[in-house]
C-alpha cells in the first residue's frame, strides 16, 4: 500500500519564515480548482505562486532535493519534471479556510501527469487550530505531521483534504512532481 511519507525538517524554521516573508508582499489570488470556477464549499484559501516571487529561486532547489530523496527512498515513481509552480496556500479561520476531499491527479495536460504531491508545513502549529492535512491511502485516514518545516509526500491519486481552520492562519507550500500518466 502506498502511504504518505513524512520528511521532517525539510525546511528550517528560518526557511519557513523567509518563504512567508516573500509571500506576504505578493498579491494573493483566491484558490480555484483546475479548469473550474471557485467553489467555497470545496476549497477556500488564498494562493501565491513561488515562481512569481523574486528571490525565491532557492525554494525550488530545496523542493527538488527533498522530492528526489523521498521518491528514491519510498515511492520509486518515474518522475520527469516539475511542470507547475509551487504554491503557498493560506487558510484563515475568519474565512473558514479549508480544502475538502480531493485528489491532485485529474483532467488536463498537467494534472493528468501529476504523480507525487509534496506539502510543506510553513506555519508554527501553535499559530492555528484545525487545518489538519489528512490523507486517505485506505479506509484509515493519516494525519500529516504539523511540525514547522516538515513535508508530507504522497501519490497524487490519493484522496486528501485540509480540515477547516478554526483559529488563526495556516500556511503550507504545495508542489507536484510530474511524469508519464499512471496506468
Residue 52: pLDDT above 80?
A: yes
Q: What is the 3-state secondary structure (H, E, C) of the chain?
A: CCCCEEECCCCCHHHHHHHHHHHHCCCCEECCCCCCCCCCCCEECEEEEHHHCCCCHHHHHHHHHHHHHHHHHHHCCCCCECCCCCEEEEEEHHHCCEEEEECCCCCCCCHHHEEEEEEEECCCHHHEEECCEEEECCCCCEECCCCCCCEEEEECCCEEEECCEEEEEEEEEEEEEECCCCC
The CATH number of the structural domain formed by 5-31+42-178 is: 2.60.120.620
CA distances from 66 to 120, 131, 167 (A): 10, 23, 30
Q: Which three cell numbers stand for residue 162?
A: 485540509
pLDDT of 39 reads 58
pLDDT of 109 reads 85
Distance (Å, rounded) from C-alpha 63 to C-alpha 119? 10
| pTM listed for this prediction | 0.93
Residue 37: pLDDT above 80?
A: no
Adjacent-strand bridge partners of 105: none
Residue 87: pLDDT above 70?
A: yes
Q: How confident is the model at residue 182 (pLDDT cuts 50, 70, 90)?
A: confident
Residue 1: pLDDT above 70?
A: no
Segments making up each domain of the chain, as ranges = 5-31+42-178
The rounded mean pLDDT for the chain is 92
Adjacent-strand bridge partners of 90: 46, 171
pLDDT of 36 reads 52
Amino acid at each position: 500500500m502506498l502511504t504518505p511519507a513524512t520528511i521532517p525538517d525539510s525546511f528550517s524554521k528560518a526557511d519557513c519564515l523567509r518563504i512567508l516573508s516573500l509571500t506576504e508582499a505578493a498579491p494573493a489570488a483566491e484558490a480555484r480548482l483546475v479548469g473550474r470556477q471557485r467553489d467555497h464549499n470545496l476549497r477556500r484559501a488564498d494562493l501565491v505562486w513561488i515562481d512569481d516571487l523574486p528571490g525565491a529561486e532557492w525554494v525550488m532547489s530545496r523542493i527538488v532535493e527533498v522530492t528526489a530523496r523521498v521518491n528514491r527512498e519510498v515511492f520509486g515513481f518515474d518522475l520527469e519534471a516539475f511542470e507547475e509552480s509551487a504554491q503557498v496556500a493560506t487558510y484563515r479561520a475568519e474565512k473558514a479556510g479549508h480544502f475538502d476531499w480531493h485528489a491532485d491527479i485529474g483532467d488536463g495536460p498537467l494534472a493528468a501527469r501529476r504523480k507525487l504531491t509534496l506539502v510543506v508545513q510553513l506555519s508554527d502549529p501553535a499559530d492555528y487550530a484545525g487545518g489538519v492535512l489528512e490523507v486517505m491511502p485506505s479506509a484509515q485516514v493519516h494525519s500529516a505531521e504539523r511540525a514547522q518545516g516538515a513535508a508530507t509526500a504522497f501519490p497524487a491519486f490519493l484522496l486528501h483534504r485540509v480540515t477547516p481552520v478554526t483559529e488563526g492562519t495556516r500556511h503550507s507550500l504545495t508542489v507536484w512532481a510530474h511524469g508519464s500518466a499512471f496506468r
